[in-house]
Structure 1
Amino acid sequence: MKEKHIKKAAKILLGSGLITAGIGHLTFAQKPFQAQVPDWVPLKKDDTVVYSGLVEIGLGAALVLAPKRYQSAIGKIAAGLFIAVFPGNISQFTNQRSAFGLNTDSKRFVRLFFQPVLVYWALKSTAR
């Protein structure tokens, strides 16, 4: 399989994942996502989850549907989102909040290492 096809598949998979996660923010996983919102965020936890879900749906759709000339910028924005929400993962770990099966300190700690993978994935799958 050509690298071009692998990148396209990776981009579509990431976009689909963002759309699914965003829908989860608004529906079936709204409560678990609240466990990741740091206490210092100045919005209600539910509002933060809803707004971030809308952003994820929009970014996911853009990754899947936007013309090729915009993909690099969209990838950088997606990487920025993954960086921006990382404090939520840290908060979930430091406050020992269980959600999404992350019910031990070790599971929550290992989860922290997945965020850089998402940043890399967003950048690599959309690079020109």
Structure 2
Amino acid sequence: MSIQTSRVDDLATDLGEAITELPEYETFEAARAEVEESPEAQAKIDEFERTREEFMLARQSGSASQEDLQELQATQEELHSMPVMAEYLEAKAALGERLEGVNEAISAPLALDFGEEAGGCCQD
């Protein structure tokens, strides 16, 4: 491993550790733990997952109806409206925004759009 590669890996590790110290990350982790520890939230998550699985199976077989979709949406809305889940989703969004800013700061000096480059070769 070259010295430069090792330095980049070290910086990446440092960045990961620094991210865990962000207030947004700490808030996210606390909210995630609350969701995991909430029997009500876990029961609603299980209900949503069952409803989603049933809908996906019905859709694959061509028997999904508008009512099935509405039931899935209603179950998701019930889940998201739970205070503990709403706090989790808000914390997740805030962390996502913060990490997007970090991503932009990392990408700015590279002057390369990796998404565009990954689309194919020989683009002029």
The TM-score range, normalised by the shorter chain, is 0.3 to 0.5
| TM-score, length-scaled by structure 1 | 0.33
TM-score by length of 2: 0.34
Higher relative contact order (CA 8 A, sep 6+): 1
Higher helix share: 2
